[in-house]
Structure 1
Amino acid sequence: MVLHNPNNWHWVNKDASGWAKEYLQKNLVGISVEEGGVSAKVDKLLSMDGDVDVSQRKGKVITLFDVKVSLEYSGKTKDDEDVSGTIKIPEVAHDTEEDEYVFEIENHADSNSKQPVKDLVRTKLVAEIRKALTSFAPALIAEHGKDLQHAPGVNPSSGFPKATVHPQTKADTTAAKTTTTKTGNAVVNTTTVTASDEFRTTAGELYSTFTDPQRITAFTRGAPRQFDGAKVGGKFAIFDGNVTGEFVTLNEPKQIVQKWRLAQWPEGHFSTQEINFDQNDIDGVTQMRVSWSGVPVGQEDVTKQNWDMYYVRSIKQTFGYVFLLLSPASHLPFVFSTHFFRVTDSPLLLDCFANPLSTDLSVPQQSRNTGISY
């Protein structure tokens, strides 16, 4: 609906961020290229951060936008090896020309054999993305410009009926009745959260850490309240019930998809958490990529802080057998009050208390520890 704005003279502004994200999702995801038996395609819009506005002043409609876009791609080599990675575009702006876009391309679990796919993305796929981005601004104006301007010769007030004047009567002192309608499911505004961390272990070991109840007990510092097993439909409740969920997809050792929620979220509301394990055989690390779709707005930082503190750090410390003193984090929604130590060399721990100023804790982790090294 167009606001009352005679002759389209006054400044009118409209936020089009939601539409922009849907547009990029529709027009970028699915772009694909193939050359010499090597293929690549855009699979997912991971994020779009920034502002997208359409404005009108003195009869002229303009766009003002500046966003950062992150995409996920996949592909195959000549030898049918699966490859995946990310394409980051630091700036998509209203004043950016087609040849000015910058693309940051990274393969997950990079290796020499996967380089042809990365090269194809850089030379061919990026060119197609450039073309798609050039149509963004015109489409933005076409879609939202009509909401900001009156058509020439139109009186925006002509469609309203004349006001009816009622004579004033004695005020009714009876309070007006109010009606409250309660729906079964409250509407929750949500967003997507992502995280990425590296572990010095295999994808298989890391996958087992999220599916083996003994490993879960170890890094959560307590037995699960519920664990139906690592199977589709298997439910779990860990961290004293502060995290609950249900397994949706299990693809050992590459991927886990599950329903996942924090206790303080709206009752019955779950996000969809996708965990991908990409093993890099060159330097012996596994990259864990995590995305949550459906996180309640306002819970983004809480979700990432808890994931980093109670999952990522705890897993590294537990299975790396690192000497550690954890301090409770009172600003997080659930807190472990127990201080604990994990060490493979108990004389080192005793020496810390006997000679706290002389104990050398600068010894590299792998020279002190044994077992799985994260």
Structure 2
Amino acid sequence: MAKWGQGDLRWIVEDREDGTNVNNWHWTKRDATRWSQGKLRDLLVGIVVENEAGHVEISELKQVEGQASCSSCKGKLIFFYEWNIRLSWIGNVKESGAKHKGLIETLNLSEENEVDDTEVNVSKKKGDVDILKDLIKTAGTARVREALGDYLKALKTEFTMEMILPTKAMASQEPTAERKLSENTLQVCPLGPWGGGKIPTVALYMTELFDATTEQLYSVFTVKDLVQKFSKSPAVLEAEKGGKFLMFDGNITGEYTELVIDKKIIMKWRYRNCPEERYATVALSFVPTPGQTELQLDGTGVPVCKEESMKFCWQKQHFEEIKGLLQLTQP
């Protein structure tokens, strides 16, 4: 056993101010769920197939259920994804002009199955003949699987561009390549009104459903008394553009940059132990759903070293506490 202070440096985890995961040794994880939902919509909606009998187009992504993430450790990437997708299609028969519509469902798109083995089910909601249904079952299914393959390629390349940073070995072997990679992976993280510095950052995407109206949920983030109730601590709140806020005994500070009543809040947001004076940008969107409100959180400029702590803060200290407060205030 190595003496104290003489162990392998790879096992020493330091809270580096620049957020660097040295030599990609330590475990990091990024949630790819929201990114994946947008990418799947872009790739699937608008697909067109036709032949001499008719014309069919995928018109809407009706539902996408599941999750995706990417983890890195020791320079290796590990992917998890599991999706069930429902699409709408519309079409017309060329000879008669008859219009038809239906659904396409893909089940169990996951890392356990090949894309070509993904189950694709086609159903018809309107129209009596099967000409268009047959078209979408054959050519349409092939195009859907092709788009799903494109999604997986993007997940493993486009989404992961910032997860593997240059190592010392890379620096000694390929200095030019390392310099180019660094320029692409180190984004500018805002330093308040005083300018910026380059540190590794990631985007953070989270969604949560609340049993409340958009008005009620918006108030929880903008009314001082409600903020103090769910945070169980004193708060300073100036809910207007340029207004400052301080919560959780000063552990969270920031500034409102945009407020659209009952719809959106954008703010500069900082957790106390983030790199000094560096703020992430957090956008909260309040989306009405039947009987509930979906809160969509889009965060950018989040230092890599603080991604997990920021996610924990929002899930445990915000979302769960707010749900408890809403239950107490329901009539």
TM-score w.r.t. the length of structure 2 is 0.49
Q: Which has the larger radius of gyration?
A: 1
More helix by share: 2
More strand by share: 2
TM-score w.r.t. the length of structure 1 is 0.44
The structure with higher relative contact order (CA 8 Å, sep 6+) is 2
